[in-house]
Every structure is written in structure tokens, then in C-alpha cells.
Amino acid sequence: FITTEEDEDVFFTKADLHPKSRNATLREGLKVGFDLKREIKGDRAVNVRVLE
């Protein structure tokens, strides 16, 4: 999950990572950017990019 600046958790999977970020080591506290996709089950982060 990604926690937004509004303290909401948004679901994502490794398949949702931007191609340039797929080899990045993901860890808690890492700054990322993403696009929000509205789905029936809830919001999902797509095109997730590592910013640090």
C-alpha cells in the first residue's frame, strides 16, 4: 500500500510500477508519485514512480 499525504492507504502491485521504477528497492518511507485509478473495490495507484 501507498499512504497518501492525506493519510489514506492506496493499493498497488508491482505490475503498477512505472517501467523505469520496476527495479527499484521498495521500502517504507520511500517517496513515490502515482496516478489514481478509481475501481469498484476502491482506489488503486497506477504508473507508480520512485521520486527519491
Structural domain spans, the chain: 2-50
Cβ-proximal residues to 12 (8 Å cutoff; 6+ apart), any chain: 1, 2, 34, 44, 45, 46, 48
pLDDT band for position 47 (50/70/90)? very high
Residue 52 has pLDDT above 90, yes or no: no
| pTM, 2 dp | 0.87
For residue range 20-45, list pLDDT tens digits in order: 999 999 999 999 999 999 999 999 99
